[in-house]
Amino acid sequence: MTHDYKVLARKYRPETFADLIGQEAMVRTLRRAFETGRIAQAFILTGIRGTGKTTTARIVAKGLNCIGKDGNGGPTVEPCGVCEPCVAIAEGRHVDVQEMDAASNTGVDDVREIIEGVRYRAASARYKVYIVDEVHMLSTSAFNALLKTLEEPPEHVKFIFATTEIRKVPVTVLSRCQRFDLRRIEPEVMMAHLSSIAAKEDATVDDAATALIARAAEGSVRDALSILDQAIAMSGGTVEADAVRDMLGLADRARVLDLFEAIMRGQAAEALEELGRQYSDGADPLAVLRDLAEITHWVSVLQVTPDAADDPTVAPEERARGQAFAQGLPKRSLARAWQMLLKALEEVAQAPTPMMAAEMAVIRLTHVADLPSPDDLIRKLRDAPAPTAAAPAPTPAPSGGGVRAVAGGGVVSAQGEAQQQALARFGTWASVMELIRANRDIPLLTAVEQGVRLAAYAPGRIEFELAPGAAEDLPSRLQQRLQTWTGARWGVSVVSGGGAPTVAEVASAERDAVAAEAMEHPLTQAVMQAFPGAKVVEVRARAAEEAQAALDALEEAEEVDPFEED
């Protein structure tokens, strides 16, 4: 049994700048600085995890102190790797190159040791180098204590800071450092790097598996090598995409696209069935929703930037389907799905049963997928034909003013014609009620619903009986509002009887009928017998509940105003 095994992330850690991948701009800048002797007193390296910040710091430390194979070399961006300083720094035992983890050494006392140490020259190296990892974790007082030393450091001291949270580093510190941003590794560069290392390890990794690993690593070399290491160990040297997918708990990308298509078509049953199959095959519900969110984002980007389809981690079949989605789906639907998926991810992560939360999210998504947008609703209302009014009775000619002949021998003044046109949109009493609602006069609407027992209606003429408790000024209020809103004269009069039930009375009667029907149901009677003294507080119709659920889902999706549809 061997004990000298090293994980791939350590075994293939870069030893020189030439070994770094994807950081050409930083290497080029450092090379020029070393060649011209314009080496900064302090560097700060920032980037996501696994891009090589600490590795770069060690390479810079070796380059500063390398003396070459002959022992006469100077600072270089190509450390020899064989001289005593290079070997000692690589092994982490050089007395003049000190590394400190700021995550576990955050206080003033820890920084004070550095401040005391910079006063003394290096014991054997050219420069005394302090590498501080995760520097953003230092306390405010620790940063303040370090400022003076950073502003006027001794010539024999160099500082190299590394951080994943550059925004948490005080500006006073940043201004005293030369900053280098280490980039995420591009997918094609990462895939080539993984293939090269797999060949060195005598492992066979197919292109689809390499693409999956590169996508899962999200630009981090260390994460990619860790996944590759695990995949090789699990598969015995032959790594296929299915093995990587099972290892990471990922769903088949093609099947996630099938799920996405079912959701966007509003096919709830098919979507739930596909989600269940993926779950049975070992896919993590949270990972499936993440993939759905990623696909939603990708398709949205494809609509704006078609060149995004050229991603090397995307298979040709997936690329073709993504382009078809981009051409066929409206931007508003994608934006709505994105917002709902973000909320669903939080729910699934916190739910005691993630699969149930994922199923509920899919149901909501399919429910609103085919709902019309607010713009479509407004467009339909605008294009709908206006209600036709009953033909007005012939009007006798007035004593003066312009007149014109009409069918039947009557005459209509120009003013009367304008009034008829203004009233033509209100052919029914229901259209008058809609007019009150549209103007949001809630007091008048409530008064009309509870106090008007309609006896007769024609455009411009209303006769009704006042219900008990109705305000005496209701006729005048109604007449004044209608004339103001329509620009036409309305005749509103009260009759002594013969009026139909009010809107409120009709609604109350309907509720009573539904409640009576519900009380006669065997299940309700069984419940009432099991719980003596219980009362039926409210009865809701299933159709109304479904309509309300659809409205709630649409309002939820529209909480954040997405971009407009072309």
Q: Sort residue 22 into left (φ over 0), alpha (ψ -120 to 50) or beta.
A: left
Structure tokens at 134: 């995760």
**pTM for the model:** 0.55
What number of other Cβ atoms are within 10 A of residue 325's Cβ? 21
CATH of the domain at 295: 1.20.272.10
Closest listed residue to residue 136, CA positions, set 159, 113, 104, 170 = 170
**Using CA of residue 119, residue 125, residue 127, residue 131, what is the dihedral sign?**
negative
SS3 (DSSP) at 429: helix
113 occurs within a structural domain: yes
Residues 145 and 209 in one domain: no
Query: For tokens 């109350």, what's the residue?
Result: 508
**Using CA of residue 391, residue 394, residue 397, residue 398, what is the dihedral sign?**
negative
- Give the tens place of pLDDT for each residue, 207-237: 888 888 888 887 888 888 998 988 888 887 7
Structure tokens at 74: 């100077």
Structure tokens at 391: 């033909």
216 occurs within a structural domain: yes
Residues 36 and 61 in one domain: yes
- Give the tens place of pLDDT for each residue, 147-204: 888 888 888 899 999 998 888 899 989 988 999 988 888 888 888 999 998 888 888 8
Assess contact for 146 and 114: CB atoms under 8 A.
yes
Residues 51 and 168 in one domain: yes
What local confidence, expressed as pLDDT, does residue 237 receive? 77
**Band of pLDDT at residue 533, cut at 50, 70 and 90:** confident
- Give the tens place of pLDDT for each residue, 100-122: 888 887 788 888 888 888 888 88
**Band of pLDDT at residue 342, cut at 50, 70 and 90:** very high
pLDDT of 477 strictly over 90? no
Domain end position, chosen among 248, 273, 294: 248
Closest listed residue to residue 118, CA positions, set 133, 85, 96, 103 = 96
Q: What is the mean pLDDT of residues 527-546?
A: 67
Domain end position, chosen among 181, 207, 223: 181
Q: What percent of the chain has pLDDT over 90?
A: 11
The whole-angstrom separation of Cα 441 and Cα 434 is 11
Query: For tokens 């270089």, what's the residue?
Result: 76
102 occurs within a structural domain: yes
- Give the tens place of pLDDT for each residue, 356-367: 999 999 999 998
Mean pLDDT is lowest, of 17-26, 297-306, 353-362, for 17-26
Complete DSSP assignment for 290-326: HHHHHHHHHHHHHHH-GGGGG-TTS-HHHHHHHHHHH
Structure tokens at 550: 């659809």
Residues 209 and 147 in one domain: no
pLDDT of 440 strictly over 60? yes
pLDDT of 4 strictly over 90? no
Q: For strands 97-101 and 128-133, give the pairing.
A: parallel
- Give the tens place of pLDDT for each residue, 64-79: 999 888 888 888 888 8
422 occurs within a structural domain: yes
Residues 212 and 338 in one domain: no
SS3 track for 381-406: HHHCCCCCCCCCCCCCCCCCCCEEEC
268 occurs within a structural domain: yes
267 occurs within a structural domain: yes
The whole-angstrom separation of Cα 394 and Cα 412 is 8
What local confidence, expressed as pLDDT, does residue 406 receive? 40
Residues 117 and 91 in one domain: yes
558 occurs within a structural domain: no
**Band of pLDDT at residue 1, cut at 50, 70 and 90:** very low
The whole-angstrom separation of Cα 379 and Cα 413 is 35
What local confidence, expressed as pLDDT, does residue 555 receive? 57
Distance (Å) of CA 396 to CA 14, 339, 399, 490: 101, 63, 9, 18
Segments forming the whole domain that contains residue 145: 8-181
24 occurs within a structural domain: yes
What local confidence, expressed as pLDDT, does residue 14 receive? 87
**Angle CA 124–125–129, to nearest 5:** 125
Q: For strands 238-239 and 204-205, give the pairing.
A: parallel
Number of domains the chain contains: 4
Residues 161 and 242 in one domain: no
Task: Name 45's bridge partners.
Answer: 162, 180
What local confidence, expressed as pLDDT, does residue 549 receive? 59
Q: What percent of the chain has pLDDT over 70?
A: 84
Average pLDDT across the chain, whole number: 81
- Give the tens place of pLDDT for each residue, 33-65: 888 888 888 999 998 888 888 888 999 999 899
Residues 20 and 135 in one domain: yes
Residues 14 and 110 in one domain: yes
What number of other Cβ atoms are within 10 A of residue 367's Cβ? 19
CATH of the domain at 114: 3.40.50.300
What local confidence, expressed as pLDDT, does residue 528 receive? 74
